[in-house]
Structure formats: structure tokens, C-alpha cells
Amino acid sequence: MRLLVVEDEDAIAGPLVEGLQREGFAVERAATGEAALAAEAPDLVLLDLRLPDLDGLEVCRRLRERSRVPIIVVSARGEEVDRVVGLELGADDYVVKPFGLRELIARIKAVLRRAEPAPASGATRVADLEVDTRARRATLNGTDVALTPKEFDLLALLFADPGAAVSRERIFEEVWGTRWYGSPKTIDVHVAALRRKLGDPGWIETVRGVGFRLRAG
């Protein structure tokens, strides 16, 4: 399993790389945003936001435009707006410094598990919208819908039972994992992005006081 650590501070990157290597990961380090974008595609990216050349959020956006590689933002910027923007741009998780190595490894494993394709074919169709959980592919009227990993996971969860209300708590548990109950805006941001990409906000209905449901047909 290859990890790319994007961190410009040697005092942070050194111990982090060593700790990850002790856990059996193959680790490459990039000290700048440009170096991260030029690196060979890894299995997962640990991305700091404060880089000397590019803002880490810009690096996240560019990585997500060309790849579905899992991205965990690791940053001292812990304000809610930073978390929301990072997740909206396609990050799979957001860890605030300082953090424990064990927590970080648990999050890495959780993100990698969610990124694994389902073992059996799971194509589901509702009207003109189809979701294939094995291929991690969504199509609308036969055209691919470009989704981030989190957007796909959210859509797949709602597709599992069209018309049924899915609570915010369950969405956090199954899409974000580790029973992390973050800001409600995190889910709202992803729902808004899904509605925009599907071209019709009616696909995903809000269930007041509960959560969301996929239109049954």
C-alpha cells in the first residue's frame, strides 16, 4: 500500500513517514504542491493545506479532477469552513493537527475500506439513473456522472432503498465511518453537489428532522 505524504515541514514529515513505514506502508513524501501533483499515483494521499507554493485546497481540487485516489487532509486549519471546503473539493476525511498516529492509521484504514469496490455486481436503476457499486459508476440517461468518492458513497447509500428516509446519523456512520458526527453542513454540502450534478434537485428529497431520501421513481 503506497501513501503520498504532502508536508513541507521536516519536523512533522520525518516522524510521520517513519511511523507509517513501521506500520507497513510504503511512503513517498512531497514537500510542495507541484511535487505532489507530479508524483506517481499512490493508493492514498495525506495532504497538508499550508504548502510553500500552492494552497493545499487547490492541490486537492486538481487531484480530484483527474483521479479518485482517496485524500485525507491533515492540517492545523481546523475551522469549520476549512473542513467543509476541503470535503466539498473531494477530500475523503479531514484530520486536525496535532493528532495521534493511531488515530490517523485508523482513519487511513477506514478510508481505504470505503474505497474498495464491492465484491459483487450491484447495478441499481431508478428511472434513468443507474448506480453500479462494483464499478463505482453512476450514469444518468446513459451518460457518466462525475462524482467524488464521498458523493458516490452517499448516492449509493440512498440508492440502497429508494424512497426510504436515511437519517443524518446513519449517513455519517456509513459514508464517513468511525461514528464521526461532524457539522451538519458537511452532509448538506455533499447533497447540494449531488443535486447539482444530477441536474434536478428533486432526485434527493429532504426529510425534515430526519435526513434525506432518494426519489423512488
Are 2-115 and 123-214 the same fold in CATH?
no
Residue spans of the domains in the chain: they are 2-115, 123-214
- What fold is seen in the domain 2-115? Rossmann fold (3.40.50)
Residue 216's identity, in one-letter code, is A
Residue 152 to residues 63, 96, 175, Cα–Cα distance (Å): 17, 24, 9
Find cell 458523493 and name the residue.
Answer: 151
Name the 3-class secondary structure at 204: strand
Q: Summarize pLDDT for 38-67 with one digit per residue, the tens.
A: 999 999 999 999 999 999 999 999 999 888
Q: Summarize pLDDT for 103-139 with one digit per residue, the tens.
A: 899 889 888 877 765 444 344 778 889 998 888 889 9
Q: What is the CATH number of domain 123-214?
A: 1.10.10.10
Whole-number pLDDT of residue 116: 66
pTM of the model: 0.60
Whole-number pLDDT of residue 7: 96
Q: Summarize pLDDT for 134-189 with one digit per residue, the tens.
A: 888 899 998 999 998 889 999 999 988 888 899 988 888 888 775 555 566 888 99
